């Protein structure tokens, strides 16, 4: 199977309440230092976010989000040789981040604000369109899909891709993310991973984000498994996703996955 070169997206959350590292990198210099560590471990992209999207998280204003992320975006873009992604649902935040050096907009709302498409068309930045059922406040209350999760997510993403293309965004600049954990049950997440190849025709790359999520602990029948001890499960799901067509992997820790991926691809070379 011919696959695209895998890219690793290292996560830097500039938030007080993200589920894994909330409060760790609120100061810009600490966030930039963490980005440097991730780059040193092999990250191809640094994804900077200033609003938690964990289940039940409260939204923040565009002004507060920009205060959190823009100094970090500017510092990473200026100091590090790495591609910068802004993780935001807000057009205003994305616009300013792109102005300061971000070349990728990671939109968990799937581009619900169509101005994101205009921004991508005018600047040539790449956009990640992710699927989320509802909002962070409602998405895990009772997620259901009338025609099944794979068909439901596919149709929703197809609609967003077409809307962005109609605004002039090229397919090469559209990546898609099925939104593991965003309005999905544990079986939904596993079914999406098993059928990722269904999504390969939607965008130029498939992004996957399983890192440290609670469904991993549930699958392992250990719901109290500490977040920091979910790394091996993260690596396992990412390698599986790689075999199903994913080529961008959003992770909190880069080095372990990089080593596992190197060994995996070395074995594949002899198939």
H-only helix segments in 53-185 = 62-79, 91-99, 115-123, 149-166
Burial of residue 81 (CB within 10 Å: 0-12, 13-18, 19+) is exposed
Neighbours of 263 (CB within 10 A): 11
Phi, psi of 123 (to 5 degrees): -105, -20
User: What is the 8-class DSSP label of residue 203?
Assistant: S
Lookup result for tokens 């100091």: 79
CA–CA dist 26, 21 (Å, integer): 10
Beta bridge partners, 130, equal 177
Which positions are annotated as active-site residues? Answer: 213, 250
CA–CA dist 54, 64 (Å, integer): 18
């Amino acid at each position: 199977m011919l696959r695209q070169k895998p890219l690793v997206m290292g996560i830097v959350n500039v938030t007080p309440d993200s589920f894994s590292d909330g409060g760790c990198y609120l100061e810009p210099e600490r966030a930039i230092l963490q980005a440097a560590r991730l780059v040193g471990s092999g990250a191809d992209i640094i994804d900077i976010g200033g609003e938690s999207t964990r289940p039940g998280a409260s939204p923040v204003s565009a002004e507060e989000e920009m205060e959190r992320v823009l100094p970090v975006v500017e510092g990473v873009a200026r100091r590090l040789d790495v591609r910068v992604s802004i993780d935001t649902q807000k057009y205003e935040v994305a616009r300013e981040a792109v102005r300061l050096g971000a070349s990728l907009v990671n939109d968990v709302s799937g581009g619900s604000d169509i101005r994101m498409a205009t921004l991508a068309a005018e600047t040539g930045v790449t956009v990640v369109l992710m699927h989320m059922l509802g909002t962070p406040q409602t998405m895990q209350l009772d997620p259901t899909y009338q025609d099944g999760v794979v068909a439901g997510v596919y149709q929703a993403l197809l609609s967003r891709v077409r809307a962005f293309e109609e605004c002039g965004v090229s397919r090469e600049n559209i990546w898609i993310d099925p939104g593991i954990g965003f309005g999905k049950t544990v079986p939904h997440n596993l079914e999406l991973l098993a059928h990722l190849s269904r999504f390969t025709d939607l965008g130029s790359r498939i992004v996957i984000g399983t890192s440290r999520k609670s469904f991993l602990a549930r699958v392992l029948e250990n719901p109290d498994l500490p977040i920091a001890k979910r790394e091996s499960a993260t690596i396992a799901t990412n390698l599986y996703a790689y075999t199903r067509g994913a080529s961008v992997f959003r992770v909190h820790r880069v080095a372990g996955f990089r080593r596992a991926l190197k060994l995996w691809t070395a074995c594949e070379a002899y198939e």
